[in-house]
Structure 1
Amino acid sequence: MNITKKKTAMGTASGKIILIGEHAAVYGHPAIAIPCTAVQTHVNISPAKNGLYLYCDLYEGLIDDMPELLTGLKTIINATLYYLNQEHTPLHIRIESSIPSERGMGSSAAVSCAIVRSLCQYFNKSITTKELIHLVQIAEKIVHGNPSGLDATIISTETPLFFEKGKPFKKISINTTGYLVIADTGLTGQTKQAIEKVATLKKVAPKTHTSIMTTLSNMTHRVTHYLATNQLHALGQTMTHAHHALQKLGVSHPLLDQLVSLSLEHGALGAKLTGGGLGGCMIALAKTKQDADALRCILLSKGAKQAFVQPL
């Protein structure tokens, strides 16, 4: 196949946020995820004289010499070049990302998505959404073992999704004003340990576990309605109640609780952890961009390592 190459190309992908339903989703209850354009990955492709080179925060050098830790990256690059029938083309691949890694914001899927987009652009090859998701999911399986496909789908489509285990993802309507402030504790999220804690609770206190899961499920259904009907105050209250439920599951962290409390003290309509917990990030809901920017500054001054503002 003879494909025309460009001199350079760039692919971009955004992050994602679990708005509500984390952990309950593991037990078949619904959850909602939304794209997060406030953080992005950019991948630049340029020609090389010989060899295939990668440049990123974790590694610089020949792709064949990459450490095992980056097997997912190597896999997505090789899979995409195979898809394009360009396995032996010498290239420089540069990755820059503002998406915090291991925070439940879809960092690995975004990198994979941006790599596929940039390589397809470089070789002037169009790709369908289905093909894009398929390629990204190949790398996600290397990184996460048995992923749900949520990250690959939401980052590839940039569409808010309602999802339940074992069921097709459903697009949801967001007709909501307001802004989310995402604050990073600076601590790696401990998703595996958090899932184990919730599983232990199910064994030792099954009634408590069932009650919390039912509560989170009902909240998620209500949030779908609030997003579609611009009920900001109800959305915020539900987010805070969801955080309390996640605290009862044992998956929060003192730094997350501190940032949630600070947000509420400084005018947030609601706040909660997002993602696996035991570290990672929290989200707070603000009514206006001005309120969100002010809250972001406060959270940064009070311990957040990074903070971003995302319009709903």
Structure 2
Amino acid sequence: MQKRHGELSSLSPPAAAGGLPERRGSRPVGTGRARAKAIVLGEHAVVYGAPALALPLPQLTVTATAGFSARSPAGPDGFSLTVTGDGERPKAARASDGLRRLTAGFRAVMGLPDTPRLDVIIDCAIPLGRGLGSSAACARAVVHALADLFGREVTPQLAFDLVQTAEKVAHGRASGVDAAAVGATAPLLFRAGRAEEPAIGCEGLFIVADSGVAGRTRDAVELLRRGFEERPGSREAFVSRATELTGTARLALAEGRPEELGAQLTEYHGLLRAGGLSTDRIDAMVGAALAGGALGAKITGGGMGGCVIALARAERAAGVTARLLAAGAVRTWSVPLGKQAGHGR
């Protein structure tokens, strides 16, 4: 099943979304949740319309709570944000503007009147700057916390659009893959605003390993863009090759060819490395995973730091994980191929 993701500006408030006098229909506190994601294939190219294969990471979650406060508004929008968890202070600084815009968008779409000050608290276990979708997951959790607080229904389309408003503030240009993946319960294939669950005929484990070094998506995007400008035709070649690798991987995933799926990961790493997006530590981790028996490995996310993702058979996963840790990984998470249990609101 495919879902079409449009723009927030194309939305209109639901017919039932009238005013909310005296907070009627609202709860004292609203709660929302989301999870991390990892890009298996397609990062950077997805911005130019190529497909991307993404994977939810259920071990890494975000919980947001929203409530009314009797204190004076913190600013003209009456919005106060507190972030706890991994790297809370820089995360709060980066998230604030985007989440303010998201909150304003939620109020506008739902037709909500001015309210007392909103206090939002985000407990985020997703490490910052690792390409794991921390900003999108925080935004999605806030969307559902606001919906719970005000007693409103949020469709998947609306949740996506609202998260995108925050993502565009955080990253400048956002493909939408993060906004879709942080609400997924299984691997998804994303292209040009459409998300679908790919067929899965493979068994194995994806191992995500944190290098301990934060990257910045904006910097990585700018580095790649400058490279494209300096080498005419390089952008087209990059997108074409990325599309080919992701397409081959999708078929291998569906038809039960894990060795071929893994090979596409390693090839894609070479593509990103040629663009200057890898680091010595990341390269060492990729090499260690392959030496430990991984079927494939690559950097995941924006690059210039962040994480490595490796594909391994179940019986080789412990050895691959040990090699990654010995090569400099500070922590790892593993996700089996297939549908994940549970779904965060």
TM-score of Structure 1 vs Structure 2, range by shorter chain: 0.7 to 0.9
Counterpart among 147, 161, 178 of residue 120 in structure 1:
147
CA-CA distance at 1:298 after TM superposition: 4.2
Question: What do the CA deviations read for 1:213-252 (whole angstroms, capped 9, x no partner)?
Answer: 4333211111111222232121112211221222223221
Q: Is the 8 A contact 1:109 1:155 kept in 2?
A: yes
Aligned equivalents of 2:123, 2:234: Cα separation in 1: 44
CA-CA distance at 1:207 after TM superposition: 6.6
Aligned equivalents of 1:207, 1:117: Cα separation in 2: 43
Change (3 A) 1:3 1:34: farther
Counterpart among 66, 69, 79 of residue 45 in structure 1:
66
In structure 1, give the amino acid aligned to 2:129: E
CA-CA distance at 1:276 after TM superposition: 1.9
Q: Is the 8 A contact 2:278 2:299 kept in 1?
A: yes
Is 1:96–2:117 an aligned residue pair? no
Question: What do the CA deviations read for 1:93-135 (whole angstroms, capped 9, x no partner)?
Answer: 2211122222222211111110111121233221111221222
Is 1:24–2:45 an aligned residue pair? yes
Q: Is the 8 A contact 1:84 1:120 kept in 2?
A: no
Counterpart among 158, 166, 175 of residue 131 in structure 1:
158
Is 1:257–2:283 an aligned residue pair? yes
Change (3 A) 1:68 1:108: closer
In structure 1, give the amino acid aligned to 2:251: H
Q: Is the 8 A contact 2:81 2:96 kept in 1?
A: no
**What percent identity do the matched residue pairs reach?**
31
CA-CA distance at 1:55 after TM superposition: 2.2
Is 1:151–2:178 an aligned residue pair? yes
Unaligned 5+ runs, structure 1: 60-65
TM-score w.r.t. the length of structure 2 is 0.76
Q: Is the 8 A contact 2:52 2:177 kept in 1?
A: no
- SS at the partner of 2:182? helix
Equivalent residue, structure 2, for 1:184 = 210
What is the 5 A alignment of 1:131-280? 131-158=158-185, 160-164=187-191, 167-175=192-200, 176-206=202-232, 213-280=239-306
Q: Is the 8 A contact 2:208 2:307 kept in 1?
A: yes
CA-CA distance at 1:148 after TM superposition: 2.2
Q: Is the 8 A contact 2:295 2:310 kept in 1?
A: yes
Over the aligned positions, Cα root-mean-square deviation in angstroms equals 3.0
Is 1:309–2:330 an aligned residue pair? no
Change (3 A) 1:103 1:233: same
Equivalent residue, structure 2, for 1:300 = 325
In structure 2, give the amino acid aligned to 1:253: T
Aligned equivalents of 1:12, 1:84: Cα separation in 2: 23
Equivalent residue, structure 2, for 1:62 = none
Aligned equivalents of 2:282, 2:35: Cα separation in 1: 23
Counterpart among 26, 36, 45 of residue 5 in structure 1:
26
CA-CA distance at 1:48 after TM superposition: 3.9
Which range is displaced more, 115-124 or 152-161?
Answer: 152-161
Aligned equivalents of 2:94, 2:258: Cα separation in 1: 45
Which range is displaced more, 193-202 or 105-114?
Answer: 193-202
Q: Is the 8 A contact 1:12 1:43 kept in 2?
A: yes
CA-CA distance at 1:253 after TM superposition: 1.0
In structure 1, give the amino acid aligned to 2:280: P
Is 1:33–2:54 an aligned residue pair? yes
Which range is displaced more, 241-250 or 42-51?
Answer: 42-51
Aligned equivalents of 2:94, 2:196: Cα separation in 1: 36
In structure 2, give the amino acid aligned to 1:260: V
In structure 2, give the amino acid aligned to 1:13: A
Unaligned 5+ runs, structure 2: 1-19, 73-78, 338-345
- SS at the partner of 1:228? helix
CA-CA distance at 1:69 after TM superposition: 6.7
Q: Is the 8 A contact 1:182 1:309 kept in 2?
A: yes
Equivalent residue, structure 2, for 1:283 = 309
Change (3 A) 1:112 1:23: closer
In structure 1, give the amino acid aligned to 2:274: K
CA-CA distance at 1:256 after TM superposition: 0.7
How many pairs does the alignment contain?
304
In structure 1, give the amino acid aligned to 2:33: T
Change (3 A) 1:78 1:231: same
CA-CA distance at 1:293 after TM superposition: 4.8
